[in-house]
C-alpha cells in the first residue's frame, strides 16, 4: 500500500481547477498567452480523490522539446513537507539521479512548496529544457534550473515511468 507521502508525490507541487471550457489559468496564460489544452486526467488512489490535472501547450500538442504547463487542482490537503518528500521519492523512482543530486534538489524545492488545501492549484511551467517555474494559485513560488530538469521533473506525471501511466497518456494526448 502506498504511504500518504507517496500519494502526495503524485500531487507534488501543482494544482489547477480543470478549465475545460474557460481556458487556462492566469499563470498559464501569462507565460503562454496562446495556451491550448492538450489533455486532462483525474487522479485517484483507492478512495482518495487526489487532484485534477490539465496539460497545456501553445499548439495543443505535447512534445518534450517545446514549452508546456501542467496544472493540478488538489482535492485533498497536503503539507509542504509531504509534497517535498514525495517529489524527491518520485524523482528517485523515475530518474537516475544520484543521492547527492536528490539531496541538493530537496533543499532547492523545499522552499517552493507550501501546504495546500482542497481547491488550491499548483502549476508548473517548463519554458525550456533546463527550467521549471512553479506557481501556487497563480502566484510565482520559485524558478528551478538544471540540465534536463523539465523532462526529469515532469516525468513524475508525464513519462511512461509515472506511477499512473494511463493518466500520463490521457494528459499527453496518447489516450491508448
DSSP 123-160: EEEEEETTEEEEEETTEEEEEEE-TTHHHHHHHHHHST
pLDDT at 6 over 50: no
Where residue 28 falls among pLDDT bands split at 50, 70, 90? confident
Where residue 1 falls among pLDDT bands split at 50, 70, 90? very low
Read off the pLDDT of each residue in 154-159 and give the average, rounded to a whole number: 95
DSSP 15-39: -----TTT---HHHHHH-TT-EEEE
pTM reported for the whole predicted model: 0.83
Q: How far is CA 160 from the centre of its chain?
A: 15
Q: Residues in the chain, how many? A: 176
Looking at residue 20, its pLDDT comes to: 40
Instruction: Give the number of other Cβ atoms within 10 Å of residue 38's Cβ.
Output: 22
Name the percent of the chain lying above pLDDT 90.
Answer: 63
Read off the pLDDT of each residue in 24-50 and give the average, rounded to a whole number: 80
Read off the pLDDT of each residue in 31-52 and give the average, rounded to a whole number: 82
Task: Please name the residues in contact with 147: beta carbons below 8 A apart, sequence gap of 6 or more.
Answer: 130
Domain count, the chain: 1
Domain that includes residue 58, residue range: 4-170
In a domain, 175, yes or no: no
Beta bridge mates, 126: 68
Query: pLDDT by residue (tens digit) across 49-59?
Result: 788 899 999 99
User: ∠ CA 43-115-36 to the nearest 5 degrees?
Assistant: 45
pLDDT at 7 over 70: no
In a domain, 89, yes or no: yes
In a domain, 139, yes or no: yes
Report the range of poorest mean pLDDT among 2-11, 77-86, 105-114: 2-11
Where residue 131 falls among pLDDT bands split at 50, 70, 90? very high
In a domain, 176, yes or no: no
What's 116's domain CATH number? 3.50.70.10
Amino acid at each position: 500500500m502506498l504511504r500518504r507521502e507517496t500519494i502526495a508525490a503524485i500531487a507534488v507541487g501543482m494544482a489547477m481547477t480543470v478549465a475545460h471550457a474557460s481556458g487556462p489559468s492566469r499563470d498559464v496564460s501569462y507565460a503562454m498567452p496562446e495556451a491550448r489544452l492538450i489533455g486532462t486526467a483525474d487522479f485517484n488512489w483507492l478512495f482518495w480523490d487526489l487532484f485534477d490535472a490539465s496539460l497545456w501547450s501553445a499548439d495543443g500538442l505535447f512534445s518534450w522539446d517545446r514549452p508546456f504547463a501542467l496544472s493540478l487542482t488538489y482535492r485533498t490537503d497536503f503539507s509542504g513537507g509531504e509534497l517535498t518528500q514525495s517529489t524527491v521519492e518520485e524523482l528517485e523512482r523515475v530518474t537516475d539521479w544520484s543521492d547527492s543530486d536528490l539531496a541538493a534538489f530537496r533543499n532547492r524545492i523545499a522552499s517552493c512548496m507550501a501546504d495546500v488545501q482542497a481547491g488550491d492549484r499548483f502549476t508548473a511551467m517548463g519554458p525550456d529544457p533546463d527550467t521549471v517555474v512553479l506557481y501556487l494559485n497563480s502566484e510565482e513560488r520559485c524558478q528551478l534550473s538544471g540540465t534536463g530538469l523539465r523532462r526529469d521533473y515532469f516525468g513524475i506525471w508525464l513519462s511512461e515511468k509515472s506511477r499512473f501511466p494511463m493518466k500520463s497518456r490521457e494528459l499527453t494526448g496518447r489516450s491508448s
